[in-house]
Structure 1
Amino acid sequence: MNQAFYTGIIGLQSQQAGIDVTSNNLANIDTYGFKSNGIEFKSLFENALSTGSGGSPVNSTVGLGSTLQATPTLMHAGSLMLTDSSTDLAIEGDGWFGVQGNGQVMYTRAGNFGFDASRDLVNADGQYVLGTLSNNFDANNVLTSKNTTTTMGNVDTQTSIKLPESLTYPAEPTTLTSFKGNLGQLDEVRKMGAKMVDANGNKNVLDLTFTKTVPQPAVGSSWDVVATASSPATLSTPSTLYDTQTGVLTFDSTGALVSSTLNSINNNGTTVNIDLGTGYNGIVSNTNTVTASSQSNGLEAGELVGYDINHNAEVIATFTNGRQVSMAKIGVFHFQNDQGLSQIDGSRFLESQNSGKPIFFQDANGNNILGASVINNKLESSNVSTEVGLTELIIFQRAYDANAKLVTTGDQMIQKALQMHR
């Protein structure tokens, strides 16, 4: 009678633990990166019964019930959900994001990140996301390098990602302008033009004016050219002339360019080489349709538009001139034993002696790499299965009811025994 009573109480405790764990899993079904807990029971000691035959197939023990042994964290990945934010990240494969808060580093699969008011990259709880900074801008928030990738540092050098609110992409002055076109054969003034950028980032204009040389050579043709570099005129500011250069272009009888004495011009302090081509590759003079085109290198300065995160976990700055630069790289940490991580809550973990220290994977050249695919505009959902969780909850509830009935029956048996004793 006592055995039935206590076995029922132990069963109630075990099934209640199962209900609690399963309920917690289901309650976090919408928590990004949540890792559910499994339930493991163990049998208590059993009393052996003596039997007449040692070879009897009938179990000769009486069990004393079971109790909760462990609630291991289930590390399989959840499904990926599409979002509309490029700062939302999901890891496809092995690995963890590192976040720092309350003086400790935690590891999570929840990649719902964003920039706070101070331009720090943080998670939904305001904890700092860890990675490698490019450190590619000066005290005036002007870029000092324009790399499109960031080399990941070592594990112990990962830091919070804080980016400037304003950032300037410096101008790249024009050093070469190329012209192509047909001057024709008629004795008419021809003009060509091109845009240039000076060292200060200003847009300037290169104008070429072609007139036929007098007298013309006996064979072929010859054109005089005047090149001017100046700032564009506006309603309030007149044009500023920076330089004027002259030259002569000589063509053969087929209109192919034989020689040119116009080589370069000064663009407000920067020398710009002028490429008019050779032969039929560049400027020609024949009876075909008159055409003109130009192409210049260089780039005007750009101001920061905003930050995004790409599929390589690079934090990318985009500028008004269309250029993009990598400002940081988010770290993806790995462990020898993920199961050994110490769970703080459903989606955040701490390293432990069982998990080992965090590491970075490396390529054949010894460079630190992500070791997994990082997908932006997606988040990893919890790994809880609604169908399985609800089914387990029903099973635990039925088992709880059965054990409650066992306790009631044991109590009734004790009462009967007491009544018989009287």
Structure 2
Amino acid sequence: MLRSMYSGITGLRNFQTKLDVIGNNISNVNTYGFKKGRTVFKDLVSQTVAGASAPGANRGGVNPRQVGLGSQLAAIDTLHGQGSSQFTGNTLDLAITGDGFFQVMDGNEVLYTRAGNFYMDQNGDLVDGDGRYVVGADGIINIPQSASSMSIGQDGTVFYVDLPEGAEAAIAAAEAIFRPIETTFKAAEKTLNDAKDAVKTAEKDVKAAGKAVEKAQDALDRANAMDPADPGRAAAITAAQTALTAAQGTQTAANTALTTAQTAVTNATGPYNTAKTAYDPAKITFDAVMSANKAVLQEAGQIEMVTFSNPGGLEKTGGNLFRTSANSGDAVTGFATEQGFGKMESGFLEMSNVDLAEEFTEMIVAQRGFQANTRIITTSDEILQELVNLKR
């Protein structure tokens, strides 16, 4: 009886461990890059009641008779199956499609992860959520803070758009020379253009005034041609003469304004020509400096990846991180899109590979297994109670 009771105890312990693993899986169902665990059981040693015997001349062989002493934990596996990818749209979110791992530096130790939610720190270095540096082919990957945009290719190459080295100083020096010349030229150009616009306006006014004078003169001529006996002739002549005098005054003013505008054009032409003589070569030089120092696509580095001959042998350290163990094999370095490393997808994150339906099913199995082992203990206890009662 004691033997069956102790076998039930081993079952309780094992199913409790299985429930612990299932609970951890479920709690990490939304953890990026999480790899679920699995418990595997095996039987304990068996007590041999009678050994096997070989067949003889008159009797056949007999199998061994053994009584098992319970179960034990064979393994808690980490299953590195691919998790589904979730779109985030964030450039620094990276999902691995394949078997590779990212590397991060924790002091002098290199750790490994599948969680690709990375960030830029104050210095522009690529880090994980806890500030560990992401390892690139040439060390730490840095994106200048002056970069206007960035992207990450499927091979892990980090690109950014920025001015080349020394460009800011060259542009600043060129602007210091060119901007004052440009300001002088723009002012002279505006003065000349305003004067030319004034000439066009004055010419229109002169033309309109000329037509008004012609119209008034025609009216005066018609008044003078009226019959002298017409009583309204004198009034018509007076009115026409007044209108003609006013039109001639307007014409004179328009001619004066035109002359003034033409003089302004003449006066503005000289400074404009002088400013343009300085502006044209300065503009050519400035454009050449800007063309030579324009923002270009540059590489910040390439994210390095690793694979292992036995990823199931990696040791979990918490924080979505793994470290090598005696059975994981050495880290083999490489880059995404190379054979065996998979590829990177920017703007995506790998979700946990936990299947809730499977976990709930395993939870029910573990619960029933635990319950069945308690029945073994209680049943054994009842039998022992009966044996004790025999003494009465």
Does residue 111 of structure 1 match 2:84? no
- Any idea what the Cα deviations from partners look like across 1:317-376, whole Å, max 9, x if unmatched? xxxx5x43222222112223322322213731112332333232389xxxx999431101
2:354 to 384, 387, 397: 384
Q: 1:199 to 1:377 in 2, by over 3 A?
A: same
CA contact (8 A) 2:305 2:335 kept: no
Which residue is 1:327 aligned to? Answer: 300
CA contact (8 A) 2:8 2:373 kept: yes
Whole-Å separation in 2 of the counterparts to 1:410 and 1:394: 24
Whole-Å separation in 2 of the counterparts to 1:136 and 1:269: 36
Task: Report the identity percentage.
Answer: 31
Which residue is 1:416 aligned to? Answer: 386
Whole-Å separation in 1 of the counterparts to 2:4 and 2:23: 28
Residue type at the aligned position of 1:378: F
CA contact (8 A) 1:4 1:406 kept: yes
Which residue is 2:238 aligned to? Answer: none
Whole-Å separation in 1 of the counterparts to 2:5 and 2:141: 72
In the TM superposition, 1:204-223 aligns within 5 A as none
Residue type at the aligned position of 1:376: S
Which residue is 1:400 aligned to? Answer: 370
Does residue 12 of structure 1 match 2:12? yes
Unmatched runs of 5 consecutive residues or more in structure 2: 54-58, 190-271
Q: 1:70 to 1:134 in 2, by over 3 A?
A: closer
Which residue is 1:275 aligned to? Answer: none
Q: Which moved more, 1:326-335 or 1:393-402?
A: 326-335
Whole-Å separation in 1 of the counterparts to 2:352 and 2:156: 29
Q: 1:390 to 1:370 in 2, by over 3 A?
A: closer
Q: 1:342 to 1:171 in 2, by over 3 A?
A: closer
- Any idea what the Cα deviations from partners look like across 1:361-415, whole Å, max 9, x if unmatched? 389xxxx999431101101111111111110011000000110111111112222
Whole-Å separation in 2 of the counterparts to 1:123 and 1:198: 35
Write 1 or 2 for the structure with the bigger share of helix.
Answer: 2
- CA drift at 1:32: 0.6
Whole-Å separation in 1 of the counterparts to 2:141 and 2:90: 25
Which residue is 1:85 aligned to? Answer: 90
Whole-Å separation in 2 of the counterparts to 1:324 and 1:134: 20
In the TM superposition, 1:257-406 aligns within 5 A as 299=291, 323-345=296-318, 347-361=320-334, 371-406=341-376
- CA drift at 1:421: 2.6
Whole-Å separation in 1 of the counterparts to 2:314 and 2:186: 66
CA contact (8 A) 2:99 2:340 kept: no
- CA drift at 1:49: 4.8
Q: Which moved more, 1:328-337 or 1:28-37?
A: 328-337
Whole-Å separation in 1 of the counterparts to 2:6 and 2:188: 97
CA contact (8 A) 1:142 1:170 kept: no
Whole-Å separation in 2 of the counterparts to 1:370 and 1:266: 57
CA contact (8 A) 1:199 1:270 kept: no
Whole-Å separation in 2 of the counterparts to 1:103 and 1:357: 17
- CA drift at 1:45: 1.7
* Aligned residue pair count: 291
- Any idea what the Cα deviations from partners look like across 1:235-259, whole Å, max 9, x if unmatched? 6999574477xxxxxxxxxxxxxxx
CA contact (8 A) 2:14 2:73 kept: yes
Which residue is 2:207 aligned to? Answer: none
Q: 1:385 to 1:300 in 2, by over 3 A?
A: same
Which residue is 1:286 aligned to? Answer: none
Residue type at the aligned position of 1:122: V
CA contact (8 A) 1:36 1:73 kept: yes
Whole-Å separation in 2 of the counterparts to 1:410 and 1:103: 56
Residue type at the aligned position of 2:131: G
Partner SS for 1:299: helix
The TM-score with structure 2 as length reference comes to 0.61
Does residue 131 of structure 1 match 2:104? no
Which residue is 1:27 aligned to? Answer: 27
CA contact (8 A) 1:89 1:112 kept: yes
CA contact (8 A) 1:171 1:200 kept: no
Partner SS for 2:112: strand
Residue type at the aligned position of 2:91: S
How large is the RMSD of aligned CA atoms in angstroms? 4.6
Whole-Å separation in 2 of the counterparts to 1:114 and 1:100: 14
The structure with higher relative contact order (CA 8 Å, sep 6+) is 2
Which residue is 2:42 aligned to? Answer: 42
Does residue 95 of structure 1 match 2:65? no
- Any idea what the Cα deviations from partners look like across 1:16-69, whole Å, max 9, x if unmatched? 111111111111111111111111111112234559986689x94332221111
Q: 1:201 to 1:76 in 2, by over 3 A?
A: farther
CA contact (8 A) 1:11 1:66 kept: yes
Which residue is 1:227 aligned to? Answer: none
Which residue is 2:71 aligned to? Answer: 66
Q: 1:136 to 1:102 in 2, by over 3 A?
A: closer
- CA drift at 1:269: 5.2
Whole-Å separation in 2 of the counterparts to 1:345 and 1:353: 18
Partner SS for 2:104: strand
